[in-house]
Structure 1
Amino acid sequence: MRLGRAARITLGAVTALILVVIYLPLLVVLANSFSTSTSLSWPPPGFTLEWWGRAFQSAGALDAVGTSVAVAVVATAVALVLGTLISLALQRFAFFGRDAISLLVVLPIALPGIITGIALNNFFRTILGVPLSIWTVVIAHATFCIVTVFNNVIARLRRLGVNLEEASADLGAGVWTTFRLVTFPQLRSALLAGGLLAFALSFDEIIVTTFTAGSGVTTLPIFILNNMFRPNQAPIVAVIAVVLVVVSIVPIYLAQRLSGSEQTRR
């Protein structure tokens, strides 16, 4: 489709405006992390690296980072296993209710986070009767991390078809051997991309975490929320926010590169 000059200019202007609205606040946060002011003010009155040094020496911030990483790693591992198994079941087998199950698997990522958080909070405390802890956070994160793995793996399975797997079975290989030597090598990049996206999604999640974390569990987003309006903590929060943005961008960028490289090879 070819666009006229006026349409291209209009589309470019709208795109530039949207990008400015999205990324300008992030640049303001970055500038405030180097500001001499003790509050999130604009413009910054001066430049300093003091807040970066204090942020990396903050025991509470470091503990929050460790908690977020631990939760994200475990939730991603659970999502990789369950998401792959669900994808194989729904794509390779035909059974009654398959479409309904596929919808139920994808639904957690579409629901508002506050609805998911309230539902899981009631499930853990009322139905199961278990106290909220880091493990309830892991389970809660896994419910929506599974979706990212599921979408990546099932899309790859649809493109692969079953010819190679059937050929492996005809040559006498069992189900596990076929998966290990034929299916899994073709799914590795999809699994890696899905795992990176799941990690990023879990690492910066706050709404569901707020409803499913116990009083002693503080992830990095919760730490930011709790300290944002405390005296002299705003610049440190800005530093942590910048680090959180970078940590979130890296896995998303790698996942995009993996997906793009795979499409180019094909």
Structure 2
Amino acid sequence: MSSSVPFIHCFQAMTVMCEVQIFANNNAKNIAAMIESNTRRLEDKYNFHSSTSWLNQTVNQRKSSQVPLDEESYTVFEVVKRLVEGTQGLFDPTIGTIKSLMKRQPEMVQKAAYESVKEFMGSQAWHLSEQSLVVKETKTQFDFGGVIKEFAVDQAITIAQSFGVPSALVNFGGDIRALGSKPDGSAFNIAVRNPKERNEPLFSVPLANAALTTSAHYERSFQFADKQSSHILSQHGIHPKVLSVSVLAPTALEAGALSTALTINPQLTLPQEVGVVFIDDHLSIHQDTEFVA
């Protein structure tokens, strides 16, 4: 049974503020607690920056080229593989390779760093076989920083659905997914921030039974010896005319992968069910790519 007033639960996880709105009269508090618990479990399991995470201990410190995967991790890698292929390799979980290199050798300049590890990165560096991850080179390292937060959002929706919740909104640091619409039948109204004035909204998007993520390069950075780079790492860099990309897709995981890839190549071919909004370097809003031609 739905409620016109949401139960709102907030918590800090995955370096961001997480908010869950559940429109249900019964059990909303317990459902929200389950979502928080599952989010923290995923953070602990797949945290690239934690030496005790499953990702680092089992995958990145693997003792052989073949790593048996549990059902959940196999699903994650399987979905990620499809997203890598769908973005022509622009979305790349092996970006952990360059991050690990720079931890060991912070004196390296950007070009030399990428050249030294390029054979250990990309879709050709790994594949799945019989419930296992196969990685031929020990230097190949996986970072799911652009994956697990979105995966947690999707799992939050799955948890809510399993309890019959008709309407919910999950927002983990701007990675957002709506279950259904508002109880009155209208869509949720989601604001997208001005990249140059981050406390100000620039436009809004109606959201119902879909996910919305925004990727931008103005909030965080990555340091090479010779330059500061966007945290969206790519050997060819992000597109200079794109300040942010918002993607509307069926799942947060798909939206997140595509929004990341589109900051690098805004002319990437998109699935028919996906919508996109670009903000260019003049704060103009676009739903096509003529501005980069």
Q: TM > 0.5 between the two?
A: no
TM-score by length of 2: 0.32
Higher RCO by CA contacts (8 Å cutoff, separation 6 or greater)? 1
Greater strand share, structure number:
2
Structure showing greater radius of gyration is: 1
